[in-house]
Amino acid sequence: MQTVNIRVFDTPHDAGIYVAALAEQVIQSRPDPVLGLATGSTPIPFYDALVGLHRCGLDLSSVTTINLDEYIGLPPTHEQSYAYFMHRHLFSRTNIRPENIHIPNGMADDLVAECARYDDVIRQHPIHLQILGIGVNGHIGFNEPDDLLLSKTHVVELRPETVRSNARFFERIEDVPRRAITMGVQAILQADQIVLMAFGPEKADIIARSVLGEVRTDVPASILQLHKRVTVVLDRASAQGLFDESGRLREK
Ligand code: PGA
């Protein structure tokens, strides 16, 4: 974020329209657009807006999608799997081709081989626009705060705060998978352009630490400060830690 580009919207709905317009630019500007996609509540307004553009004539048949992560042990038919989420919110509502969709397989017998396969997919399809949400602990994808951030796709043990936060989607906290496959930070940082989205007051503190704080492996999103083309897309609540009383961006 050497040139920090921050956009603050009144509502997540408005923010979603802005991000969909960015995606449309990428999609229209090349024959083989590759979108890196995220799950969670945050990108839903973006997907709704992209579906809206598709209904108004935006052709997505040439788009390749590469998702950030998937729970280990949930089949794509499970309502809380990220494959299911993506079909529900985007793929089933557009003309993105099934063969152009890439999501880690959390049911693979050999998870190490699956991670290597996924890195091959990413190598073959360099990402033009990467969409990211952020966890309350600063994770991007499922790159959790740690002493070290891993560059390649890997299996990760979810942190207790991530399990607690994601429990809202499951009947019982015991049902939340404890492990996931996630793209590593190298693939994220190699994207041409990155959009980090966050909404709500519970994200204000981590957004301030990620944008204005030191680059630290225990605040994984802070690594985005090393990228040359990041746009941080917020609502007023998630942006509240970034600006002083006069509305100026606080000093780092
Ligand atoms: P959320 O999750 O969009 O549901 O808040 C974001 C994340 O954990 O990356």
Minimum CA distance residue for ligand 1 atom 7: 135
Atom of ligand 1 nearest to the CA of 139: 9
Q: Residue 3: its pLDDT value, please? A: 61
Residue 42 Cβ < 6 Å to ligand 1? yes
Minimum CA distance residue for ligand 1 atom 2: 40
Residue 40 Cβ < 6 Å to ligand 1? yes
**What's the chain look like in SS3?**
CCCCEEEEECCHHHHHHHHHHHHHHHHHCCCCCEEEECCCCCCHHHHHHHHHHHHCCCCCCCCEEEECEEECCCCCCCCCCHHHHHHHHCHHHCCCCHHHEECCCCCCCCHHHHHHHHHHHHHHCCCCEEEECCCCCCCECCECCCCCCCCCCEEEECCHHHHHHHHHHCCCHHHCCCEEEECCHHHHHCCCEEEEEECCHHHHHHHHHHHHCCCECCEHHHHHHHCCCEEEEEECCCCCCCECCCCCECCC
Residue 28 Cβ < 6 Å to ligand 1? no
Please give the model's pTM, rounded to 2 decimal places: 0.97
Predicted confidence pLDDT, tens digits, the chain (252 residues): 556 799 999 999 999 999 999 999 999 999 999 999 999 999 999 999 999 999 999 999 999 999 999 999 999 999 999 999 999 999 999 999 999 999 999 999 999 999 999 999 999 999 999 999 999 999 999 999 999 999 999 999 999 999 999 999 999 999 999 999 999 999 999 999 999 999 999 999 999 999 999 999 999 999 999 999 999 999 999 999 999 989 899 988
